[in-house]
Amino acid sequence: MENQEDGGVLHVVMFPWLAMGHLIPFHHLSTLLASKGHKISFLSTPRNLSRLPKTSPSLSSLINLIPLPFPHLQIQNLPPLSESSMDIPHQQAQLLKIAFDSLETPLARFLESASPKPDWVVYDYASHWLPPLAADLGISAAYFSLFNAANMAFIGPPSMVLEREYARTTAEDFTVVPRWITAPSEIVYRRHEVAKFMESSKGNESGTNDVERFAGSIGRSDVVLFRTCVEFEPDWFDIVCELYNKPVLALGFLPPQLVSNEVGGNDGEWGEIEGWLEKQRVNSVVYVALGTEATLSQDELTALALGLERSRLPFFWVFRKPPGSIRDQLEMLPDGFVNRVMDRGRVYMDWAPQARILSHPAIGGFLTHCGWNSVIEGLSYGRVLILFPVMNDQGLNARMLAGKKLGVEIPRNEWDGTFTSDSVSDSVRLAMESEEGETLRANAREAKFLFGDKYINERYVDSFVRYFVENRPSE
């Protein structure tokens, strides 16, 4: 643990949205702040807290996990034990937002009575109601963006996106560069990706849609934090600074290399997985995983499986049962698939120690849905990407990564998203083996020196911590 600089110890409250892809990076940030001697109160619901990586014993006295009661019974149609986006089909996201909004009162009670008084609360896009609450209590509010700067620039400035004149009302509005971006850009959605994210934001049971949540959360924050390095997306970073017109800080990528003192939450199977990886050639295995929210239709799943089979390359595929599905994963795979690929392919049906797997030298490439956490983890180990976006920010990430030649995107029909098993196997082989893919592989190897570099990423964290100390609210 580092010695404290002048300015003393901070008390920082963390309050992420109810999704693993949000809880994990908030926990990374907590670990890094605690490793510099600051005190963290990490608030979420009981089941989500139990899924976090375990805090290392040297930091556990500084990271306090505070459970907030989850209102299971009061929300009609929300299946029991559904405390995170991983537990529900994406079409039910609005129900989870109702539950999330009900945490306002217990959170307020905590902020009012916490001792020592919190200096900062770090929060997510969904809690648009949090900044005024924090301001009333004299606590500074930092919005932590888990989307990169290119994505947030696309979403737009809070001052504009709620105005009728700028509102995007049709799917087509998302397939073009928005009016507030004047520089040339290819970072736009495909039609089928818009349909998917419209499904997750459809309905308005919580009374507040996602655009209002983003705008409210960012617009009223004291500072906006990005999980990015300016070197990676300098132009987009400049654009968000201009659009937000308030302090904007890059935190670096918070890569796994920096938080190796977090103890894996569910690494019990690691020994067995490592044994399998050890038997494979260096750089030969494709790691396949689609995060915690994206689910595929039966046709998509079949095409993906047959594509992996046809590629004839070794693969490690993380495929958990989709929420709400009554069928077992095995029944969803093509007949005989597991037996046919047994000598070189693994289908792993549980929570996988992803960052640890990606760190293994046997892994050469990563077929990813392009969730920002996964992208960072893959590139921090220099793995070439096979881009397969499904929803949320993923399409825009895929466009940016393909543009930077860090991976190849699996071709899909732009309108309905259909793709063939050949397009999967061709893309996988191109990225992993073909001569044509050598530039991509070289670029991905090079990316590790930014994404996974301890020194560069630590410097970002240090300057962020300095900002937090220097700008803590005065007594």
Ligand X SMILES: O=c1ccn([C@@H]2O[C@H](COP(=O)(O)OP(=O)(O)O[C@H]3O[C@H](CO)[C@@H](O)[C@H](O)[C@H]3O)[C@@H](O)[C@H]2O)c(=O)[nH]1
Closest to ligand X by CB, 366 vs 464, is 366
Per CB under 6 A, does 253 bind ligand X? no
Closest to ligand X by CB, 253 vs 419, is 253
Per CB under 6 A, does 452 bind ligand X? no
Least CB distance to ligand X at residue 323 (A)? 13
Please state, in angstroms and rounded to a whole number, the distance separating the CA atoms of residues 108 and 112.
Answer: 6
* Nearest one of 409, 370, 416 to 390, comparing CA atoms: 370
Closest to ligand X by CB, 210 vs 377, is 377
To which residue do tokens 């500072």 refer? 223
3-state secondary structure of 248: strand
Q: One symbol per residue from 368 to 407: x for binding ligand X (CB under 6 A), - otherwise; what is it?
A: ---xxxx--x--------------xxx-------------
Per CB under 6 A, does 21 bind ligand X? yes
Please state, in angstroms and rounded to a whole number, the distance separating the CA atoms of residues 43 and 208.
Answer: 22
Q: Are 66 and 40 within 8 A, CB to CB?
A: no
Please state, in angstroms and rounded to a whole number, the distance separating the CA atoms of residues 387 and 406.
Answer: 9
Q: Phi and psi (nearest 5°) for 287?
A: -90, 130
Least CB distance to ligand X at residue 215 (A)? 17
Closest to ligand X by CB, 25 vs 437, is 25
Closest to ligand X by CB, 111 vs 130, is 130
Q: Segment contacting ligand X (CB under 6 A): 111-119, 128-136, 268-276, 350-358? A: 350-358
Q: Phi and psi (nearest 5°) for 44?
A: -160, -170
Q: One symbol per residue from 142 to 161: x for binding ligand X (CB under 6 A), - otherwise; what is it?
A: ----xx--------------
Least CB distance to ligand X at residue 387 (A)? 13
Query: What does 360-413 look like in DSSP terms, one character per residue?
Result: STTEEEEEE---HHHHHHHHHTT-EEEE---STTHHHHHHHHHHTTSEEEPP--
Dihedral (C-alpha) 177, 178, 182, 183: value to the nearest 10 degrees? -30
Per CB under 6 A, does 354 bind ligand X? yes
Per CB under 6 A, does 210 bind ligand X? no
Q: Are 29 and 14 within 8 A, CB to CB?
A: yes
Least CB distance to ligand X at residue 53 (A)? 9
Least CB distance to ligand X at residue 74 (A)? 26
- The size of the interface with ligand X (CB under 6 A), counted in residues, is 24
Least CB distance to ligand X at residue 25 (A)? 7
Please state, in angstroms and rounded to a whole number, the distance separating the CA atoms of residues 464 and 225.
Answer: 9
* Nearest one of 375, 387, 400 to 150, comparing CA atoms: 400
Q: Segment contacting ligand X (CB under 6 A): 6-14, 213-221, 348-356, 451-459? A: 348-356
Rounded to a whole number of angstroms, the distance between the first and last alpha carbons of the chain is 27
Outline where 282-361 has alpha helix (H): 298-311, 329-332, 337-341, 354-358
**Candidate list 352, 396, 410, 461; residue touching ligand X; CB under 6 A:** 352
Closest to ligand X by CB, 103 vs 126, is 126
Q: Segment contacting ligand X (CB under 6 A): 135-143, 298-306, 352-360, 408-416? A: 352-360
Burial class (CB in 10 A: 0-12, 13-18, 19+), 445: middle
For ligand X, the binding residues in 22-41 under the rule CB under 6 A are 22, 24
Least CB distance to ligand X at residue 318 (A)? 5
**Pairing between strand 285-289 and 248-250?**
unpaired
Q: Segment contacting ligand X (CB under 6 A): 34-42, 186-194, 365-373, 453-461? A: 365-373
Least CB distance to ligand X at residue 93 (A)? 11
Q: One symbol per residue from 275 to 294: x for binding ligand X (CB under 6 A), - otherwise; what is it?
A: ----------------xxxx
- Residue 7: how many other CB atoms lie within 10 Å: 12
For ligand X, the binding residues in 97-126 under the rule CB under 6 A are none
Please state, in angstroms and rounded to a whole number, the distance separating the CA atoms of residues 186 and 401.
Answer: 11
Per CB under 6 A, does 257 bind ligand X? no
**Candidate list 194, 241, 304, 318; residue touching ligand X; CB under 6 A:** 318
Q: What residue ranges bind ligand X (CB under 6 A)?
A: 19-22, 24, 146-147, 291-294, 318, 351-352, 354-355, 371-374, 377, 392-394
